[in-house]
Structure 1
Amino acid sequence: MDPARLCQIFFSLGTVVDVGGPLIPPFREYIMNYGSRSTTSTSTSSARHQNTFAWLLEYIGSFQVPHTWFTHYYVISVASSVFWAVQISTQGTAFEFLASLSKSRPATMTMNQVFLAWLLMTIQGTRRLYESIAFTKPSQSKMWAGMWIIGMAFYVFMGISVWIEGITSLKYRGPQRTFLEFSTPTVRTLIAVPMFLVASGVQYECHKHLASLKKYTLPRQFWFQWVVCPHYTSECLIYLAIAIAVSPQGQMLNRTVLAGLGFVASNLAVTADSTRKWYIEKFGIEKVAGRWRMIPYVY
């Protein structure tokens, strides 16, 4: 199967689960929620034990790993960036394998875009790895082991997705041709790179603020005055910026990265909604009133 199509299918399946999962309360509670957001009352739990389907989901969800294992996502992301940098530059075995499966496309990324895609993803993965190490506090929070595995798979697929639509350019570059061609930045680059940098900066500040809070404290930093989870907003903008920057000729967005953005947005939307509900339960609705979950004026 064409690697780009495979990545799109993986992301699309994840999006379907993220959108449909919350419609099934036991699935949302036992599989999708984690940490403090997954706590339920004893009476509710007992009632659901009467339902075989709910019991099965509870059993599946009982296989958990520490929430701090989120760090593994970014280890995978950085490792993927390094691996594909070597493979692409040397046209190694893994690259040749993907190239043999890839269909030729009339619209492809330039080699400059391939480098930019790799650079932006490397910056994102490296920054998030640093934040996970520097800001993560010891915690008893858990998450479903399946979510941990899917999260790592996401970064494996995204590490490929950011450059795979440029594989035609990479396959046919001659041995004497340099990887980069210096030229005037395109309008897309002039829009996408500042968007990426600003969103990355905002997300860093949000994570730093969250790390500075005492346990179970309502965030009050500037961005949190408007949005419950502005760090999720930033995450979506980061991938949107990459989708713009590396869109093939004749396209507004890179379709494979856009599919990944759909997965990210749908997944974070569920968590943002759970976070808002938890804030209301913990601090009262008046403390959260006027704050959008993730996307101002939309959601």
Structure 2
Amino acid sequence: MPAVLAAAWSLLAAAFLAALVLLPRLRRAGVVSGLFQDLVRYGKTKRGCGQRPGWLRLLQVPKRWFTHFYVVSVLWNGFLLIGLFQTEFLGGSLPSWIQHVHCFLGRDSQSEDTDSEHFSALLVLLLLWLHSCRRLAECLWTSVFSNGVIHIVQYCFGLGYYVAVGSTVLCQVPTNISNGKELSVQICWYHIVGVTMYIWASLHQHRCLVILANLRKSKSGKVVSLSHSVPFGDWFERVSCPHYFAELLIYVSMAIMLGFHNVTWWCVVMYVLFNQALAAVLCHEFYQKNFSSYPKHRKAFIPFVF
């Protein structure tokens, strides 16, 4: 197991869990509280920060720059996907610099792996790339961004995130192994379960993003408003942020595809859980504060639970 990667993702997960726990305690005025709130909030939830100092407003970029995250992901993870495919099936090898990074992060290039583990990594990297392609398309042609902003630190973190997550997938197999066995030999039942869950969660995430976008469009599809409204339909009937919940399910589906036992990827899942939970809580509070008739039965993130 790539111990360095597992430790890094665990630390990130712990940091967001701490932010989630500290959130109610750091709402009062003060420099530390202001910095904390500015770092964890973005978009519409920035309104919860109150009046921010001018120097803090200089450290923000448009929320629509979220699109850049997926551009980076499509390019980087596409590059990794091509490299892994060539290594596995065409007798090629990954660039030496990737192999050095691979070994540094804790995976022995001579370690033994089963064929299913090789296929699992290739499958997860493929679906991660497809996920990024879909999200990029949604940012470009579906979502309607307001004039919301994100902190420059959040922006830089987001750019690095998809580079890190794709590299994490690549580190689940040795870099010097290649074979040309038929894929049908390598397919296991958990691959089918994982792909099914991935498709199901992706469909619901797309539907929810379309619902959000349509709140700002006329029936003809023309953007008529940039204001916020209460969404209804699909998983919005149960939670305030079903697209965040779907994101978590997508990462859980990848953990299933890796055979359930990949500790490093479960650390990634824990990071996604706490990261998305924090964002969901802030959005949930925004809806409750700004819409007096907001459905009281809705949870923030996970239906019936949280």
1:84 aligns with 2:75: no
Question: Which amino acid in the other structure matches residue 68 of structure 1?
Answer: R
Question: Which amino acid in the other structure matches residue 278 of structure 1?
Answer: F
Question: Which amino acid in the other structure matches residue 129 of structure 1?
Answer: L
Cα distance in 2 between the residues matched to 1:253 and 1:154:
23
Question: Which amino acid in the other structure matches residue 271 of structure 1?
Answer: A
**1:70 equivalent in structure 2:** 66
**1:29 equivalent in structure 2:** 37
Question: What do the CA deviations read for 1:238-294 (whole angstroms, capped 9, x no partner)?
Answer: 0000011013xxxx232222212211111111111111111111111x423001111
Q: Kindly state the Cα deviation for residue 93 of structure 1 after the two structures are TM-superposed.
A: 2.5
Cα distance in 1 between the residues matched to 2:37 and 2:283:
13
* 2:235 aligned to which of 194, 218, 223: 223
Length, aligned pairs only: 275
Are the equivalent residues in 2 in contact too, given 1:31–1:61 (CA < 8 A)?
A: no
* 2:261 aligned to which of 233, 253, 257: 253
Single out whichever of 210-219 and 91-100 deviates more from structure 2.
Answer: 91-100
1:95 aligns with 2:91: no
Cα distance in 1 between the residues matched to 2:170 and 2:182:
14
Question: Which amino acid in the other structure matches residue 286 of structure 2?
Answer: W
Question: What do the CA deviations read for 1:78-101 (whole angstroms, capped 9, x no partner)?
Answer: 112221123332322333223443
Greater share of helix? 1
* 1:171 aligned to which of 176, 179, 184: 176
Cα distance in 1 between the residues matched to 2:56 and 2:270:
26
Cα distance in 2 between the residues matched to 1:79 and 1:5:
27
Are the equivalent residues in 1 in contact too, given 2:191–2:257 (CA < 8 A)?
A: yes
**2:7 equivalent in structure 1:** 9
Cα distance in 2 between the residues matched to 1:7 and 1:61:
34
Single out whichever of 253-262 and 217-226 deviates more from structure 2.
Answer: 253-262
Cα distance in 2 between the residues matched to 1:115 and 1:103:
16
Percent of aligned pairs sharing the same letter: 24
**2:89 equivalent in structure 1:** none
**2:195 equivalent in structure 1:** 193
Q: How does 1:112-191 map to 2 (within 5 A)?
A: 112-167=119-174, 170-173=175-178, 177-178=179-180, 181-183=183-185, 185-191=187-193
Cα distance in 2 between the residues matched to 1:115 and 1:179:
14
Q: 2:150 aligns to what SS in structure 1?
A: strand
**1:51 equivalent in structure 2:** none
CA pair 62-11 structure 1, distance change in 2 beyond 3 A: farther
Question: What do the CA deviations read for 1:202-232 (whole angstroms, capped 9, x no partner)?
Answer: 0011111111113211001121011111111
Gaps of 5+ in 2: 28-32, 87-91, 217-226
Cα distance in 1 between the residues matched to 2:98 and 2:49:
51
The two structures have a TM-score, normalised by structure 1, of 0.83
Question: Which amino acid in the other structure matches residue 198 of structure 1?
Answer: W
**1:210 equivalent in structure 2:** 212
**1:52 equivalent in structure 2:** none
Are the equivalent residues in 2 in contact too, given 1:15–1:266 (CA < 8 A)?
A: yes
Q: How does 1:215-294 map to 2 (within 5 A)?
A: 215-247=227-259, 252-284=260-292, 286-294=293-301
Question: Which amino acid in the other structure matches residue 171 of structure 1?
Answer: N
**1:50 equivalent in structure 2:** none
Backbone CA RMSD of aligned residues: 2.4
Q: Kindly state the Cα deviation for residue 103 of structure 1 after the two structures are TM-superposed.
A: 3.4
Question: Which amino acid in the other structure matches residue 305 of structure 2?
Answer: V
Cα distance in 2 between the residues matched to 1:72 and 1:154:
12
Cα distance in 1 between the residues matched to 2:41 and 2:289:
15
**2:46 equivalent in structure 1:** 38
CA pair 86-265 structure 1, distance change in 2 beyond 3 A: same
Gaps of 5+ in 1: 47-54
Which stretches of structure 1, 4 residues or more, deviate above 6 A after TM superposition?
none
CA pair 40-124 structure 1, distance change in 2 beyond 3 A: closer
